[in-house]
Structure formats: structure tokens, C-alpha cells
Amino acid sequence: MRVTISQSMISGSIQAPSSKSYTLRALMCAALADGLSEIESPLYADDTEAGREALGKIGVAISEKDGSWLVSGGSFRQPDSELFCRDSAGTLRFMTAICSLVPGICRLTAGLSLSRRPIAPLVEALRLLGVDCTTDGSAAVTIRGDLLKGGTAGLPGDISSQLVSALLFIAPRAEEGMSIELAPPVESKPYIDMTIDCMKKFGIRVGRSSDDMVFEIKPQAYRPARYRVEGDWSSASYLLALGAVAGDVHVFNLNRSSLQADREILTLLKRMGADLQVRGDGVRARKARLKAVKADLSDCIDLLPTMAVLAAAAQGESILSGISRARLKESDRVAAVKEGLQRMGIPVREERDSMYITGGRPAGCAIDAKGDHRIAMAFSIPGVLAGNTVIEDAECVTKTYPDFWAGLKGLGGEVVFDEQ
């Protein structure tokens, strides 16, 4: 699908969608709990549907009632077919670990964009724990699971927090418990905190060292729970950025005390001089003259596209660092952001772990989203400023925010859809 965006005055209120990260985490915890759990306000999107489908194939019954998901967990069976994880990295990594508890053989596969994202360190860690686990070098993984003995496993801390979360999920089910040791540097710590927070809601306690390099988990039983999913700060970042550069937007359904890494967008917008009002569960962002910023995104790497397009509309040169892991997302986001901004006439230069962006007046052009939801949503922001902007492959937003284009239109965005 192609979306054409004209210059638009943005104004109105909009609800942030539910958190993808917390929806997936709640699903995994509920699947590991013996009994019936309820997940309230889950996110309906491609990534979470991938998680539901994979869990269903190993015997976890998931039904819907009044906008909630009822999850009957605690016991697993060998699937009748492969577990296709779509392009959901969280599903692939979390399910790789959980399949070590499934009696029999599980084979996990994934979509094309996921095949370039790291899974081998998790496979090696599971092997150290005694799991018969192999990968063909892409995203395909085969696990012969049963009882998990446990022990000590090491992981690099700077590849993906999802690898750490995957082991954390299964650690309480290990007969001997588990010790997870991370090699520095450790990045995206907030996502590890989110996992531990979600596990706590299902009755699990995780011990951790003061430097967050070692996690000790004793054998424990997950307890069924009623879990309410909070709003997604990652998705909200595009909406708040729209208000900050193009109008007046009130985003609600946001937890100001959230552990989500991308809550950092509030701090970064304030540093750029944005006009923000925070009240209750809402944040109002109004158009203001933005200034350049220096920002380390190593703990909130998904904010790179949002911060890059904000920098394009700010005065001066912004420096975004800690970005190297963004090259291994749904697309090479460093390259995709640079290409898009340069096409809009914005000067950009990059180093391995940094990007330098000189703000100006973005010009309309065609943007290739590279099949990446965050690139598509981020470039709608300069699109409403410049007009005459076309986003190719715009349907990729269904991965985490299926209603994004409808939401933009509801805020006054002049959006035309071409199904091609």
C-alpha cells in the first residue's frame, strides 16, 4: 500500500495503543502459569498475533472475552507443524526458550526480515543449559525439549535484551534454577526491567546483582493473574512528535511511571524545547521552535527514527549516539533514516555508532519504508510538514500499530491511500 501525505494542520486527542512489549511478555507469563489468566487491553497487531499463534500450537488455549484474552497455560505439547513467528523478533526469541520446556520437537521459522537478526547467542546459551537446540544460521531454530535442568548460562549484553528476557522467562521452570551472566556492556536495560516486572505480576521473583550483570532465579511456579496492558510509549512517540512539529496533539492512555524505555521521548522532547503539558494519563504536545540535541539512544534504540525526524525539523546539528544496534532491526534503520532524510534535503552523516543531522526544511519526496513499521510512521512527521510525501510499503505499520494511518487522518492529516 502507498500513502500520500499533504501538508496538514494536526490537532486533536488520540489514545495510545496498548504496549506490544508488555502484551507479548504477559502472553509468555500466562502460558507458563498453571491455570487461567486474563490479559486486559492487549494489543491486536501482527507481532502479538504471531505470539498467540505460536503458543496455540504448543497447547496454550487463548480465547477472547470483552476485549480481554483468556489464557489457559501450564502444560505444553509437541506442535503438529512448525511455529511460524512472522517477523516478530520477540516471538521468535521468547518461543525459542519456551520450546525447551515442550516435550518433543519444535521447529521455529520466521519471515525474511527477521532472518538477519541475531538468534545464535540464545541457542548457544540454551545448549550450555543442556537443551538440544540448533539453528541453520538464519532465524530457523529446532529444539528437542523436555525437562529443563538449569544451571549457568552467559549472554552478551549488547545484542538484544530479548535474549536475556527469553532465558528469564524459563528460568523459574528449571529444576536447579538458573544463573544468567551478562558480558558488558549491557544495553536496553529497561526492557529487562519490563520482563522482570511482568514476571513479578505472575508470582516470580528474580534476584539480580547491583550492576545488573548477573540474574539468579530459583525454581518457582508461575501463578495465574489478571494483567492489564498499559499504553505503548514507542507508538506514542510518533504522535507526540507530530504535535511538537505540526500542531497540537493530546495523547492519552500513557503511564508516566512506566518502565518502558521509550518513555524517554518526554525528556528528549523537553530538551529540544517542545511545548509539553503532562497531566494524568495524558501528554499534550504543541508546535514549538525546536533546537538541536545530543542524545544517547543505547537504552531506547527504537526512538532513533522519531528522534531523527525531530532533528530534521530542529535548529542546529543534532547528534544521536548509541545507534549501532539499529542496523539489525526490521531494516537497517541507520541506513533507512539517512536515505529518507537525504531524499528530503536534510544533511546527514553517519559513523558506526552515531548520526549527525542538521535541521532545515524537509522537502516532499517518496520514502521507501523498507518494510519497517517505525520508518513508515516516523516519516509521516516530516511528511505533514512538507506535503507531497509518499510512503511506500505503508501497510507495514500493522506490525505494531495497525490503526496508525487512520489515527493520523483523525488528527487532521491529509492522507490518501493507494492499494496499488
**Least confident residue range of 48-57, 154-163, 399-408:** 154-163
Same domain? For 58 and 84 the reply is yes
What are the pLDDT digits (tens) for 316-347?
A: 999 999 999 999 899 999 999 999 999 999 99
Same domain? For 400 and 349 the reply is yes
294 occurs within a structural domain: yes
Q: What are phi and psi of 3, to 5 degrees?
A: -115, 130
Same domain? For 113 and 254 the reply is no
Same domain? For 8 and 66 the reply is no
Same domain? For 203 and 271 the reply is no
Show which residues are catalytic.
302
Same domain? For 34 and 178 the reply is yes
What are residue 272's DSSP bridge partners? none
Residue 420 has pLDDT above 70, yes or no: no
Q: How sure is the predictor about 49, in pLDDT bands with cuts at 50, 70 and 90?
A: very high
222 occurs within a structural domain: no
Same domain? For 251 and 213 the reply is no
Same domain? For 146 and 293 the reply is no
Among 217, 251, 282, give the residue marking a domain's end: 217
What are the pLDDT digits (tens) for 194-205?
A: 999 999 999 999
**Least confident residue range of 156-165, 235-244, 259-268:** 156-165
Place of cell 509437541: 78
Structural domain span for residue 373:
2-17+232-418
Average predicted confidence (pLDDT) for the chain: 96
C-alpha to C-alpha distances, 262 to 139, 232, 245, 305, nearest whole angstrom: 26, 9, 19, 12
pLDDT of residue 115: 80
Among 217, 250, 285, give the residue marking a domain's end: 217
223 occurs within a structural domain: no
Same domain? For 299 and 166 the reply is no
**pTM (predicted TM-score):** 0.97
- Mean pLDDT value of segment 271-298: 98
Same domain? For 333 and 349 the reply is yes
Q: How many CB atoms lie within 10 A of CB 77?
A: 12
- Report CA dihedral (95, 20, 311, 290) to the nearest 10 degrees: -160
Per-residue HEC secondary structure of the chain comes to CEEEEECCCEEEEEECCECHHHHHHHHHHHHHCCEEEEEECCCCCHHHHHHHHHHHHCCCEEEEECCEEEEEECCCCCCCCCEECCCCHHHHHHHHHHHHHCCEEEEEECCHHHHHCCCHHHHHHHHHCCCEEEECCCCCEEEEECCCCCEEEEEECCCCHHHHHHHHHHHHHCCCCEEEEEECCCCCHHHHHHHHHHHHHCCCCCEECCCCCEEEECCCCCCCCEEECCECHHHHHHHHHHHHHHEEEEEECCCCCCCCHHHHHHHHHHHCCCEEEEECCEEEEECCCCECCEEECCCCHHHHHHHHHHHHCCECEEEEECCHHHHHCCCCHHHHHHHHHHHCCCCEEECCCEEEEECCCCCCCEEECCCCHHHHHHCHHHHHHHCCEEEECHHHHHHCCCCHHHHHHHCCCEEEEECC
227 occurs within a structural domain: no
pLDDT of residue 16: 98
Residues 6+ apart with CB under 8 A from 65: none
225 occurs within a structural domain: no
Tally of domains within the chain: 2
Asked if 304 and 272 count as a contact pair (C-beta separation under 8 A), the reply is no
Same domain? For 382 and 301 the reply is yes
pLDDT of residue 361: 95
What is the CATH classification number for the domain harbouring 111? 3.65.10.10
pLDDT of residue 133: 96
226 occurs within a structural domain: no
248 occurs within a structural domain: yes
Residue 172 has pLDDT above 90, yes or no: yes
Question: Sign of dihedral through CA atoms 366, 371, 375, 378?
Answer: positive
pLDDT of residue 413: 97
Residue 36 has pLDDT above 80, yes or no: yes
- Mean pLDDT value of segment 219-235: 98
The rounded percent of the chain whose pLDDT value lies above 90 is 95
